[in-house]
Amino acid sequence: MIKIHVGTDREYDILIEKGLLKDCGALTAAVKAPCRAMLCCDETVASLYGEPVRASYEEAGYQTALFTFAPGERSKNMGTLTRLLEAMGAAELDRGGLLVALGGGVAGDLGGLAAALYRRGIDYLQIPTTVLAGVDSSVGGKTAVDLACGKNMAGAFWQPILVLCDPETFETLPPETYAGGMAEVVKYGMIFGGRPWELPPAEMVAACCRHKRDVVEADEKEGSRRMLLNFGHTIGHAVELASDYTVPHGQAVAIGMAAMARAAEGQGLAPAGSARELEAVLTGLGLPIATGIPTDAVKAAARADKKRGAAGITIVIYDRLMKITMEQLDQMIEEGLA
């Protein structure tokens, strides 16, 4: 078993091992005494892992309830959040209760925010079942739902008490979902160096989680250095929003990284040939590097980015942060998506 300690204000461990899902109840009981617990997952994950996970928790002494929602980013909204909070109340979770976010990034973001809000904050843990959640979104305590005006616009920083990753769950992912997660793996390679996408699954997750652990420990609330992890996300989130979330997050991030790389190289902000090298990695992993969405729609969506300030926005060019105006971002989007 690979164990990675995260030393944020609330410290916790990431445990990575093939087959650990069957022991999730006992592993959780080692850090939190059995209590009432709500399992939160989408309907697809529930059909695959809901009952085994619930059985593991019941065997460890937890009293469990199950909340499910329709798969996809469109469920990450205030309506689903409200239903989850009401379900937690109906299940009689108290301040000592537990929420278990089982699944991909949507389950983690939604469940984590519900835990942060319910009774002003209860414990939760992440059990990622996708590459994207395993290497990125399950770690770091960012929780959120989308609003009509933009992605992840209502959220909180709320660290989990434990992250349990079983790479065996990646084997049940559709090819598109698996590829989408690899976009986040490529992101870590582009920022920190190396080729983590070439590692076996457990080692790949561990490599990315160590990078994220180091960044989050240095900048838990994303005041500066943690912004590096947004490489590809400013344009990527805009692509998601402009597509009404028909473009999945990972594919949108791939498009965003490629677009930013092309624009940066065109403006002399990145080495010649670097964009083509990134594009080759992305396409080799089955990821898109362009979109048919009109550029004006992407530019309009980018103006709803939650990171936007009065003076503009901070963008990421590989391992560098750069503050630009929204007009300059418009130009980069035009050049990058041309």
Active site residues per annotation: 120, 142, 184, 212, 222, 226, 230, 233, 237, 249
β-bridge pairing 123-128 and 150-157: unpaired
| Rounded distance between C-alpha atoms, residue 67 and residue 40, angstroms | 5
Q: To the nearest 10°, report the CA torsion of 192, 194, 198, 199.
A: -80
β-bridge pairing 36-42 and 313-317: unpaired
| Rounded distance between C-alpha atoms, residue 178 and residue 131, angstroms | 6
- In the beta sheet, which residues pair with residue 102? 127
- Which residues does 199 contact at the CB level (< 8 Å), separation at least 6? 207
Q: Using a CB cutoff of 8 Å and minimum separation of 24, what contacts does 207-211 make? A: 208/135, 208/136, 208/184, 209/4, 209/14, 209/16, 209/135, 209/139, 209/163, 210/4
- Which residues does 188 contact at the CB level (< 8 Å), separation at least 6? 135, 196, 207, 208, 211, 212
| Rounded distance between C-alpha atoms, residue 84 and residue 97, angstroms | 14
CB of 141 closer than 8 Å to CB of 8: yes
